Amino acid sequence: MSRPSLAQDIAVRVFRAAVSGVVAYLISYVIPKFLLEQALITIEEYIPLGGMVSPLRLLEYFAFITVFYTVTVELTRKTVLEHFFSVGRGLTMLFFFIYASGGGIINFSVPLSQVGLAGAGNLSFRLDVSRVLFILIGIDFLDIGKSIINAVNFLSEKVEEELEELAPRRPTPILALPGRLGLVVLAILVAVLVLMGVLAFFFLKGFGGGLPLPLGG
């Protein structure tokens, strides 16, 4: 690639990343804050969440993650780093959802003084959102698996292109397709093993009382 075309490619990448970053910032932070700020402030003021980060701060974390990975993915578009950042985005969102939901169990209390019962203490609640968290984890793992498969496919295509350049008249080896399928199967197995590891972690460690699977009644 010549220097002018390289500079043009970098300029296009930076422009697209900047535009995508601004759009992601508006969608993930500005609009939700404009619509929900008063409600989030009210929740933070009148319904203390036991030991958890404030909703507005969680919104800031979510917006930062979204904008960061949107920009990096656009900057590395059509390179293997695009897929690596996509995997990183899925993993980061996975742990963000676990962190934001307290591992599936949200404890909060409502001061009874807010309803005119001064000196009556607090009314405590425990909200089990483990089923919602499990669904979000499943969606995240599907996204991670898709990104891993895309990365493997990208690398295999690059290798095939290099082999064709080195030996343009040589027929494509019969084992090329099975080799690629083997890599895809390996990537899927890795994703499944990671999922099993996370579920085992939930069972062995737990989050404030454990995170049950959304099975049964």
Classify residue 51: in a domain, yes or no: yes
Within 10 Å of residue 151's Cβ, how many Cβ atoms? 19
| Geometric angle at alpha carbon 106, from 121 and 215, rounded to 5° | 135
Q: Is residue 177 part of a domain?
A: no
173 in a domain, yes or no? Answer: no
Domain membership flag for residue 46: yes
Tell me, what's the pLDDT at 178?
47
- Is residue 7 included in any domain, yes or no? yes
Is the whole-model pTM more than 0.85? no
What is the pLDDT at residue 204? 44
Average pLDDT score over the chain: 74
Tens digit of pLDDT for each residue in 37-88? 888 777 777 666 655 677 888 899 999 999 999 999 999 888 888 888 888 8
Contact 102/208 with Cβ under 8 angstroms?
yes
Range of the domain at 63: 1-77
Domain count, the chain: 1
Could you tell me the two tokens for 65?
């993650």
The residue type found at 13 is R
In a domain, 27, yes or no: yes
Find out whether 108 and 123 touch, Cβ atoms under 8 Å: no
Q: What is the pLDDT along the chain (217 residues), one digit of tens a residue?
A: 555 687 888 888 899 999 999 999 999 999 998 998 888 777 777 666 655 677 888 899 999 999 999 999 999 888 888 888 888 898 899 889 888 887 777 777 766 665 566 666 667 777 788 888 888 888 888 888 888 888 888 877 877 777 777 765 555 444 444 455 555 555 555 655 555 555 555 554 444 444 444 434 3
Would you say residue 19 lies in a domain?
Answer: yes
Name which of 183, 182, 188, 175 is nearest 152 in CA terms. Answer: 183
Does 154 reside within a domain?
A: no
